[in-house]
Amino acid sequence: MSSMEKTPLSETKEMQPLLKVRDFSLAFPQYENGFQETYIQVIRDFELSIYPGEIVAVVGSSGSGKSLLADSILGILPENAKTGGKIYFEGTRLTKRRQEQLRGNAISLIPQSVKALDPLMKTGKQVQSIVRDKKAKKRIQREAFQKLGLPANTDKKYPFELSGGMARRVLIATAMASEARLIIADEPTPGLDKKTLREILQNIKQLSENNRGIMFITHDIHAALKIADKIAVFYGGETLEIARKEDFSGDGENLRHPYTKALWRALPENDFKALKGNQPEAGRVPKGCVFEPRCPIATDFCKKNKPKSEIINNGMVRCFYA
């Protein structure tokens, strides 16, 4: 818990969000019986704002479309993807052209897999290669490695000589050495033990210094709670709730959405209680609320109507009974 009693950046309205996503949707064509083209919606009504210096976690189970979200912002979706809604970066609409200019520069990705490292290039060189200023690149790389606690000789090593945790840190160093103002970390913590996890999370937190904004995509709610300011809960391709970190406490009574409450209670530290059923698959999403088939408090009304997003107690929620 931070001891500083400052208002969250998102509440001082003068500040412009670094990233603002409104009503974003994403669909892929599917061909039935050979020629009939239909679209499968994988993301619907997605909304999110990230302010400078803020870490926003996007928490969702596998298959909820989280990684596609990262691809959408970077503009690296497959050719046939159809998108809707608007994405703004520093107040200006993101077009395909602008995405091409920004990605790798103002917007940087920490990829999910450590396989993203070039297996044939020493790690130091890989990190240096993204720094524009030729004279400073060595210094910047060294500083980043030092800050992340990588041993001094790591830059002389090839990726296969590193442990999983060290390879992750090299990926983070790449983002740190860049001039990116927005960093998208796509599931950067799987399969790490407690100690390494804590260190890597601390490293990601370090990235948010210098007013960088971070979108932290993860399925691990613990990891999210450790470093994020806000948590967007993603389910079946939609944002069901955006809660503050403090809302995740006790029995989850401060949480707004029944899914978020269930997620919180399912943790082994809490009740370890499961919820029946599965997340709806893309293309088979119910007409009404996306969570209705599994919701303990759903009514007939939820079956037929889709809840709009509302602001309740400084957080966003999409539920008629919140």
Least Cβ distance, residue 267 to other proteins (angstroms): 5
Residues paired with residue 309 on neighbouring β-strands, in sequence order: none
Cα–Cα–Cα angle for 302, 69, 181, rounded to 5 degrees: 130
Q: What span, in angstroms and rounded, lies between the C-alpha atoms of 185 and 11?
A: 24
Residues paired with residue 243 on neighbouring β-strands, in sequence order: 231
Q: Which of 262, 316, 317, 322 binds other proteins (CB under 8 A)?
A: 262
Q: Which amino acid is at 158?
A: Y
Least Cβ distance, residue 187 to other proteins (angstroms): 10
Closest CB to other proteins among residues 112, 128? 112
CA separation, residue 269 to residues 161, 225, 273, 300 (Å): 36, 14, 10, 34
Binding of residue 296 to other proteins (CB under 8 A): no
Q: Which of 6, 134, 273, 308 binds other proteins (CB under 8 A)?
A: 273
Concatenated DSSP letters of 14-32: TSPPSEEEEEEEEEEEEEE
Binding of residue 263 to other proteins (CB under 8 A): yes
Least Cβ distance, residue 97 to other proteins (angstroms): 32
Residue 44's nearest CA partner among 85, 75, 90, 95 is 85
Residue labelled with tokens 């809302």: 247
Select from 34-42, 59-67, 97-105, 143-151 the region that touches other proteins (CB under 8 A): 59-67
Binding of residue 40 to other proteins (CB under 8 A): no
Binding of residue 253 to other proteins (CB under 8 A): no
Footprint on this chain of other proteins (rule: CB under 8 A):
59-63, 163, 190-196, 219, 221, 262-264, 266-269, 272-276, 278-279
